[in-house]
Structures are given as C-alpha cells and as structure tokens.
Amino acid sequence: MLHYKHLFDQLYSDYSRLNPSVKKINELFKDSGETIINDHIALRTFNIPEINLDSIAKPFLEGGYKEKGFYCFNEKKLTAKHFEHVKDPLAPKVFISQLIIEDLPQAYQDIIQKEIIDNINQIPTSHKLLLAGRLWNLPKYEIYKELLKTSEYAAWLYVFGIRANHFTILINHLSHFTGIKMVNEFLKNKGFTLNTAGGEIKGSPSVYLEQSSTLADIVKIQFVEGDFMIPACYYEFAMRYILPSGELFSGFQTTSADKIFESTNNQINN
Ligand code: OOG
Ligand code: NI
C-alpha cells in the first residue's frame, strides 16, 4: 500500500504541472518566509459504481483515513464526504464529491452514458485510480459545452477526470499573515483573481471556518475538434477556528463549499 504522504506528492505533482499558478503561489508564500501546510485536497467523480465516492475513498481508508462528514448539494446534484487521518493531525483532510447522474435531466443522462460511461476503458486499481485523470476518450468540445448548460461540475469532470482539483493553504499555520483578508489582499496585489461567488471570503468565525480561493487557471486542453482554453484547477486558503469544545473545527460548511465549487466556473465569476 502506498503511504499517504507519497500519494499526496503524486497528486500535487499532477496538480502543479497542470496549473501554472500553483507553483507561483507556493513560491510567493515561501519567499515571504512561510512553510505551507496543506489543509485539504478535493476530488470530484461521478456516482458510477466502480469510480464513485466510496471507490475513490478506498485508498485513503486503507492509508489510515476515516470517514467524518457527509454533505449534500441539492441544486448541484452532488453529495460529498470528508475524510481525516486517524493518527496524524497534520495529514491533509480529503473532500470527495460525486455527481448523482440520475438527478440530471434524461437528455444529459443519455449524453453521460454514451460519451463517458460507454467509453470507460480500464479502471486502474488502488491509489492509481486517484491519479487516473480522464478514464474515457479524448473529450469533444461540443459535448463539454452541452454539459456546461446543465452542470458545470459535469463538464469539468468530463474533461479533467479524477485528480486533485485543489490544494488548500492552512492560514492558521502562516506566521506573517494575521487573517484571510491579508492573504486575499496579498494574492490580489500579486495579480491573482479570486473567486467572488458569495463574496471573497466564504464563512466566518461563527461557523468556525473562513475560506477563499483563486479562480481556476485557464489552460489549453486538447479536444477532438482542436485545442481550447478552459478553466482547470484552483488554489484554496482556509482559516479554522476553535470550537466551544476546545478543538479546532475540522469539517466543512455546505453553504461555503457550494460557492468554492464555483472556482472552476468562469460563467459565474465573469
Ligand atoms: C470542492 C469544493 C468544496 C471546500 O473546501 O469547501 C471545497 C470542489 O471544488 O470540488 O473544497
Ligand atoms: Ni476545499
């Protein structure tokens, strides 16, 4: 079994290769004298049995993770769970969501069946599934545009497949930044565009979690029809607060997460 640290290294290397902002942001924080702690990563998938949320979670469970929270996003037709390492409090948390295909209009279910499910070649086993990316053929731009009309999540997933769609800098562990506002100002000054859906800062100390994120990098992707520039992955920043019990809040907030999902949506943010 692959050690989870090694797994995160591999997920990170795919993520930073695909998204030029990632390395730039990391370097900016390092140049400011910071050591980066990753609060969590997120993965997306379809509720197709072989690759659904629970299938994606398996390698993490085998690596010492435990299921913690369950979340529903009715409008987006998603469910999600988060996982935490049982022993290592500094191990990144893992947020996995899945699209409930049968909740989409029939015409879109048919597209997903024909263009995705019927085209799944081989499903890698164990942790290799998490690094698989797209498990189906080269995407069609025409299908991507069509999926965008019903679910931005479905369109993104059709192109990018299974991979980490963001890493998250834990602001609590930064030494020169006093809060999320200061992080946001720093990023904007350096030329990064933040996701403004629901406001730049999602959440508040009263829900024990504040989050912000960049807008996904626009990258060149090869489609059947040729190359097109589309949003890929983003970077998130999170500040966690102490619960009345004295413990640091380790979960997620559905209302905030709903807006964080929009970081890959250049329709809403333009
Ligand atoms: C996940 C969005 C939710 C959070 O921290 O609330 C999230 C996604 O975009 O796949 O990461
Ligand atoms: Ni996140």
Q: CATH number of the domain that 218 lies in?
A: 3.10.180.50
State the pLDDT at residue 268: 67
The number of C-alpha atoms within 13 Å of 8 and in the hemisphere containing its C-beta is 20
Establish if 12 belongs to a structural domain: yes
Instruction: Annotate 218-234 with DSSP letters as a single string.
Output: EEEEEETTEEEEEE--E
Secondary structure element (H or E) that encloses residue 148, with its range: helix 141-150
Establish if 254 belongs to a structural domain: yes
Q: Residue 67: CB partners within 8 Å, gap ≥ 6? A: 57, 61, 81, 82, 83
ipTM > 0.90 for the complex: yes
Which atom of ligand 1 approaches the CA of 261 most closely?
9
Residue nearest to atom 6 of ligand 1 (CA): 257
Establish if 269 belongs to a structural domain: no
CA 225 / ligand 2 centre spacing (Å)? 32
State the pLDDT at residue 191: 98
- With beta carbons less than 8 A apart as the criterion, state whether 143 and 136 touch: no
Establish if 46 belongs to a structural domain: yes
Establish if 185 belongs to a structural domain: yes
Residue 44 DSSP class: E
Establish if 270 belongs to a structural domain: no
Domain hosting residue 130, numbered range:
4-263
Establish if 165 belongs to a structural domain: yes
State the pLDDT at residue 269: 56
State the pLDDT at residue 266: 86
Which atom of ligand 1 approaches the CA of 202 most closely?
6
State the pLDDT at residue 213: 98
Neighbours of 258 (CB within 10 A): 18
Establish if 37 belongs to a structural domain: yes
Look at the chain and report how many structural domains it folds into.
1
Residue nearest to atom 9 of ligand 1 (CA): 261
Q: What is the pLDDT along the chain (270 residues), one digit of tens a residue?
A: 578 899 999 999 999 999 999 999 999 999 999 999 999 999 999 999 999 999 999 999 999 999 999 999 999 999 999 999 999 999 999 999 999 999 999 999 999 999 999 999 899 988 999 999 999 999 999 999 999 999 999 999 999 999 999 999 999 999 999 999 999 999 999 999 999 999 999 999 999 999 999 999 999 999 999 999 999 999 999 999 999 999 999 999 999 999 999 999 987 654
CA 41 / ligand 2 centre spacing (Å)? 6
Residue nearest to atom 1 of ligand 1 (CA): 261
Pocket of ligand 1 (CB under 6 A): 42, 44, 95, 97, 165, 211, 236, 252, 256-257, 260-261
